[in-house]
Amino acid sequence: MAATRQDTERDLTDRVRDLLRRHDPGTTEPRDFRGALFDSGLARVNYPPGLGGLGLPQGFQELVDTLLGAAGAPALLKQHNGIGLGMAAPTILAFGTEDQKRELLRPIFTNDHVYCQLFSEPEAGSDLASVATRAQRDGNDWSITGQKVWTSGAHHADMAILLARSDPGLPKHAGLTYFLVDMRSAGVEVRPLRQLTGEAEFNEVFLTDVRVPDSHRLGEIGQGWKVATTTLNNERVAIGSGAPREGGMIGKVAATWRENPQWRHPAMHDRLMRLWVDAEAIRITGERLRQQLEVGQPGPEGSGMKVLFARAAQAISGFDLELRGADGLRYDDWTMRRPDKVDYTGRGPGYRYLRAKGNSIEGGTSEILRNVIAERVLGLEAERRVDKDTAWKDLPR
């Protein structure tokens, strides 16, 4: 007889209690607790048994997280290792060999492997398939040379997901291969890129004859674009969703409105309500996309989620400055910083306003994502591409 939802919830509750009994959050080191969480199948219940999960629908994770949170258990460091948890892990799960899954997934959840993303290049951002970073086979290793840019968190990353060109004689989408790179390898140089906010969470990364074992190639040789597309679809869902009701940017503004009656105006109230409704619609859409993960990888619909998130974040942060009047023009600190996490809603309103400008660039520009929506979601005629069947080495640059 098939288990009911109530049966599954009781079983999960028992598993959480057993985990807490064996690993008291008050006395267990956070790293050890997260390792035990992974081993018990409660890190991502929708992952396969033995790989951090129990093979259950993802919707049951909320129950597990609620029970763990109530017990004071250390949470997964989603802000500190968002690329690892939200992009690298699901891509490894989808394309990794069994050995790769066993080797690479657990360190992501224990936070031993913090990831960054080596995709964009100075002349290959929106047109990612044009990357020029070269990967050449050398026995059981690959030698990788090139430059990457706009790399969030590279200054504190242990590992990187990397897209490189393995065969310049093939069309640009066909000659790519996907790798997992140790950022501590010889030949990796990370330089900060100071941003509009004054800090440098982004970086440029130079790779000079970096040795990567073939065992850290993800997917088949030449399959890099397919693997990278899975990563990007996961990224767009991860960036654009996840906030609770009245969380994120709208939560900050709503709290400011309630706490400062002197700033209220009827016209501003109407705008705030419209922004609140937009934020709630985006939250519900994000939940729907996360549920879609239960039956496979996220599809191109995540591009729509990302476009909406960027537009809303910029509108809400702009409203926040207007609401505060002259106070909104103050900036808390221009000191150069190298943050170890991205906090879209951190610091003051000026920071949130400036940081939100990057939301329509990172994870795919809004212009490119609208093309994805038009072609892959709505089924409209694709833009004419004259370079589709031309070898990459023959393309003008």
- For residue 362, tell me if it sits in a domain: yes
Verify that 56 and 172 share a domain, yes or no: no
Residues spanned by the domain of 77? 7-109
**For residue 294, is pLDDT > 60?**
no
Verify that 80 and 45 share a domain, yes or no: yes
- For residue 388, tell me if it sits in a domain: no
Verify that 102 and 133 share a domain, yes or no: no
Instruction: Quote the pLDDT of residue 105.
Output: 98
Verify that 252 and 371 share a domain, yes or no: yes
Verify that 93 and 121 share a domain, yes or no: no
Out of 222, 242, 267, a domain closes at: 222
Verify that 151 and 206 share a domain, yes or no: yes
- For residue 359, tell me if it sits in a domain: yes
Verify that 256 and 369 share a domain, yes or no: yes
Q: 242 versus 36: which is more confidently predicted? A: 36
Mean pLDDT of 138-159: 96
- For residue 384, tell me if it sits in a domain: no
Verify that 253 and 330 share a domain, yes or no: yes
- Per-residue model confidence as pLDDT tens digits over 164-204: 999 999 999 999 999 999 999 999 999 999 988 989 999 99
**For residue 394, is pLDDT > 60?**
yes
pLDDT bucket at 240, cuts 50 / 70 / 90:
low
- Per-residue model confidence as pLDDT tens digits over 353-381: 999 998 888 877 888 889 888 988 888 98
- Per-residue model confidence as pLDDT tens digits over 209-234: 999 999 999 999 999 999 999 998 87
Beta bridge pairs of residue 171: 391
Out of 43, 74, 109, a domain closes at: 109
Q: Looking at 37-51, 132-146, 240-254, 358-372, which range is the least confident one?
A: 240-254
Out of 94, 109, 124, a domain closes at: 109
> Model pTM?
0.89
- For residue 261, tell me if it sits in a domain: yes
The SS3 call for residue 168 is: coil
Q: How many domains does the chain have?
A: 3
Which residues are designated catalytic? 235
Q: 194 versus 293: which is more confidently predicted? A: 194
CATH of the domain at 68: 1.10.540.10
pLDDT bucket at 239, cuts 50 / 70 / 90:
low
CATH of the domain at 193: 2.40.110.10
- The full DSSP string for 246-301 is T-HHHHHHHHHHHH-GGG--HHHHHHHHHHHHHHHHHHHHHHHHHHHGGGSS--TH
Instruction: Quote the pLDDT of residue 303.
Output: 81
For residue 66, give Cα distances in angstroms to 4, 230, 239, 266: 20, 29, 22, 38
Verify that 104 and 141 share a domain, yes or no: no
Verify that 204 and 147 share a domain, yes or no: yes
Verify that 131 and 77 share a domain, yes or no: no
- For residue 396, tell me if it sits in a domain: no
Verify that 238 and 297 share a domain, yes or no: yes
Task: Report DSSP state, residue 53.
Answer: B
- For residue 390, tell me if it sits in a domain: no
Instruction: Identify the helix (H) or strand (E) that includes residue 160.
Output: strand 159-165
Instruction: Quote the pLDDT of residue 288.
Output: 79
pLDDT bucket at 289, cuts 50 / 70 / 90:
confident
Altogether, the residues listed in the chain come to a count of 397
- For residue 389, tell me if it sits in a domain: no
Mean pLDDT of 286-300: 69
Average per-residue pLDDT for the chain: 91
Enumerate long-range contacts of 259-268, CB under 8 Å, 24 or more apart. Answer: 260/323, 263/323, 263/324, 263/325, 268/319, 268/322, 268/323
